[in-house]
Amino acid sequence: MDWTDRMGRLLRHEAAGGVLLILAAILALIVANSGLAATYDAVLNTRLSILIGETGLSKPLILWINDGLMAVFFLLIGLELKKEMVEGKLRNPRDVVLPGVAALGGMVVPALVFLALNHDNPATLGGWAIPTATDIAFALGVLALVGRGVPAALKLFLLTLAILDDLGAIIIIALFYTAELKAHYLLMALVPLAGMWALNRRGTHRVAPVLLLGVVLWVLVLKSGVHATLAGVVTAFLIPLKDRFGKSPLHAMEHALAPYVTFLIVPLFAFANAGVVLDGLTLDDVLSPLALGIALGLILGKQLGVFGATWLLVKAGLAGKPGGASWLQVYGIACLAGIGFTMSLFIGGLSFADPGLMNEVRVGVLAASVLSACLGFAVLRFAAVPSTATKVTASA
């Protein structure tokens, strides 16, 4: 086997995206605390403009990444959500009850933990949603590293929980992170929206016109004050699942986008946003209500919310425990749900413009994500079922 085959197998491994995400965050930490720190900041704050006459967009590079490239990330999430709702894991309401309630518990309890520590500080109160998020790629990557001792039903439980968690994050961003609303831009956005809807109804097999209208929608939504990444989700839901020839433009686009999002966009976002400046960082900063609220929200809040909601629902007889899984393994999954990373950093960026507060956000998110990953991995490895037993369970 030559090196290209080995590289291909490595990139196709379930853990590849999560590992690359970790490496991007480590690189950001190194660069932000080295002699390249000034260059790092200068590049991220370089203003890029697209103008027609005097009208257009002019933003620092980091906002092009966070508002522009992350719209593509949300486009992929939207494609996955539509696929799962129409023909996948979210199609049957009964299959959604347990992970859905677990996801809800995993959002409510972390928010309450954060609010308990920050309720008397108006400057940080707006960050309540930061610990409500779960990073799908990171969590599934850690789960893949555990090996074959994890029942397939447990992986499906985590995947469905994380997808519903993303849906919750999208709703939170839409409802609570909208700037001053400019209604005339939203009215103008109805034009490309109507065009995409008409193409979807016709079952168009060409996605380029839909994507072009999606770019127009993104610009208008950005100008309206609603967070522009939501345009990516809306565009995804208007990509036809089936065209008039019986093929699936949605599946084709999902497969085409996934490698770019996993191996380029998300690591680039992590590199641009995970650079914690350690110089001058004190114990007071690490134990500040903001950093501690995020860290405890992700670590303890997610465990209590996800595991507690799951346990209560199963004990009440309203749902069954994931097939072949022990309660210790369910607890391990609840630990992995505390890996916030990408979505938590993203919501943190929406919550705070102050560099000092954002540094505390990064401290809380990174510390909690690393600890949750290590704890979840350790618990699941300890509780892992031998591969032979797993096969017996699966065949039964």
Whether 289 contacts 115, CB under 8 Å = no
Residue 368 · residue 299 · CB < 8 Å: yes
The answer to whether the beta carbons of residues 113 and 340 sit under 8 Å apart is no
- Per-residue model confidence (pLDDT) at position 78: 87
Predicted confidence (pLDDT) at residue 224 exceeds the cutoff of 90: no
Lowest-pLDDT range, 32-41, 136-145, 245-254? 136-145
Residue with tokens 């699936």: 248
Q: What top-level class would CATH report for the domain 16-67+94-179+263-395?
A: mainly alpha
All structural domains of the chain with their residue ranges: 16-67+94-179+263-395
Which tokens sit at 63? 């906002």
Average per-residue pLDDT in the chain?
85
- At 387, the pLDDT band (50, 70, 90 cuts) reads very low
pLDDT value, residue 124: 92
Distances in Å between the Cα of 12 and the Cα atoms of 9, 220, 314, 334 are 5, 37, 35, 26
Nearest Cα residue to 355 out of 45, 19, 100, 97: 45
- Do 371 and 297 touch, CB atoms closer than 8 A? no
Residue in this structure with the two tokens 């001058």, named with its chain if needed: 280
DSSP string, 14-26: TTHHHHHHHHHHH
3-state helix, strand, coil in the chain (%, to 5): 75, 5, 25
Decide if 39 contacts 288 (C-beta within 8 A). Answer: no
Which residue from 344, 338, 370 is spatially nearest to 290, judged by alpha carbons?
Answer: 344
Quote the CA–CA distance of 160 and 153 in Å, as a whole number: 10
pLDDT at 183 over 90: no
Which amino acid is residue 86, in one-letter code? V
* Tokens 């610990």 found at: 131
Q: What is the pLDDT of residues 318-348, one digit of tens each?
A: 888 888 889 999 999 999 999 988 889 889 9
- pLDDT of 263 strictly over 60: yes
Q: Do 109 and 269 meet the contact criterion of CB atoms below 8 Å apart?
A: no
User: Do 233 and 75 form a contact (C-beta atoms < 8 A)?
Assistant: yes
Cα separation of 242 and 237, whole Å? 12
Tens of pLDDT, residue by residue over 20-78, are 888 888 899 899 899 998 999 999 999 988 877 777 788 889 888 888 888 898 898 88
Question: Which residues, 6 or more positions from 262, have their beta carbon under 8 angstroms from its beta carbon?
Answer: 16, 17, 20, 137
Q: Using the predicted structure, report yes or no on whether residue 304 has a pLDDT greater than 90.
A: yes
Q: Which carries the bigger pLDDT value, residue 343 or residue 88?
A: 343
